[in-house]
Chain A
Amino acid sequence: MVVDSAICYEVLRRMREDEQFDYCVDITAVHYPKREQPFDVVYILYSFHDNERVRVKTLITDGERLRSAVSIWPTANWLEREVFDMFGIEFDGHPDLKRILLPDGWKGHPLRKDYPILQQDKDWVQINLGIESGQ
């Protein structure tokens, strides 16, 4: 199910309240750098009542902010933080949006397709070990 990013929050709320999708399995994103709206944000929901799973997808542009789903499902807290950490997608209304898996001072968002792994590695090795990277 693909929804517009503007009504995404509303749709999710309705899913939770009217359709009884009470369990938010996962929130993640996919990056398509060549598209006009390069990010898919995917919400995977599950309903205990109907034993059904549904994927809600919304397309957003770089820098666009989504409304956080923490108020709908508390579990979205860390999942959204991870999306922010890995893709740099920011969520409005998130209680504590900061990096979760990577260290606080990390540069860039590694799961974007244009993220230079080798560059990061070289920089890190040079800064922290003072030697040329062996990779």
Chain B
Amino acid sequence: MLHAIKAYLSSNVTPGEAGDYLWATIYILLVVIGISLAVLAMNWLERKILAHMQIRLGPMRVGPHGLLQPVADAVKLLTKEDIIPDGADKLVFWSAPVVVTMTAFTTFLVVPFGRTHAVTDMNIGVLFMLGISSLGVLGIIMAGWSSNSHYPLLGSLRSSAQMVSYEIAMGFAIVSAVLMTSLQTGTGTLSMIGIVEAQNAQQTWFIFKYFPLGFLAFAIFAIAMVAETNRAPFDLPEAESELVAGFHTEYSGFRWSLFFLAEYGAMLAVSSIAVTLWLGGWLRPFPNWLSGALWDLAFSLVPALSFFVLAGLSLLGVVRMPKIPQFRAQTAGLLMFGLLLGFIGLTLLVPAVRVRVQDIFWFVAKVAFFMYLYIWYRGTFPRYRFDQLMKVGWKVLLPLGLGVVIVTAVVGVRQELWGVLAGVSR
């Protein structure tokens, strides 16, 4: 057993590539659990951050600073009555949330959290992710149609139109990133790991490559991915003030929570694509400027440090808790939480752990940045109208994406091009 673990740890490929089914299964479990936990954390963070942007406090009662609120919500949702409307198409109604959740989770098969930290590495990784996440539309249409109600129907129609149109712009942005992998290193790849390695080899994140081309492609993707996941300001399919709750109006309890899970899962998934394609995936910041063993060491200490900071924040919270009996349990809970964070930080100081985990840390940190953006947008922007949304998609992002692809290709092959031109002129 120990031997198996050791053999795995020393290996340099993902379990999928190695054909190691045991480890692949473990990874899948880890990913599913991890994503679920991340969704819980996201739920709490979104509420807190949004609340503070709106000069509120957000959840404060369940657990210290509302830390247990998502858990309480999950319990509530699971114990709620499960309603299937009378006129609904039962089978489709039942299967829609399953489809949505499955597609959201399946995409994570190819997400590389680190060099070896992925379930598998496919040579068509990006396409796989795009394809699977597009399947989510199917679930949404199923949900809207089978509910046999007006609001879900309108919501799902909006959703499908929106996802389909933004997928094209998204595709162009991705193509330009993929093009970049084929330049200089010479071998283009669609593998997620391959793309990150290409960025490593070229010693630049693709967002900075051929400035502003990489940045433009990234911006297109960043806008399209918000639309793709139906989040504000593109949250028309579930526009609360217009369509009540859009395609999941008729859902309740566990089924509703599956939609919720899928939404956040999809957000994480598209953010992972963005991170992988443009922000260097698991690579630490500034690999080219701040290179050298000392900097490597410094950056590998960052995960532990950030955990210490979090622990410090929660200990500060402990100190600032009101000193009244009602809060004793909460204060103790927060203290425990802070200590736990500190302990994790300590573990991360251990060199063996440190080296293996820092990839994941950088990846998660970058994804977290995107998650913050999602919340920030939601707190700030009004909602687009349907036709305006389509206009942005088709008239702005699509031509821009097309242009970026063409210019990237031209710039990428400019040396050869010059050679050819010189040949012609001669």
A–B direct touch in complex (beta carbons closer than 8 A): no
| A residues apposed to B, CB below 8 Å | none
| B residues apposed to A, CB below 8 Å | none
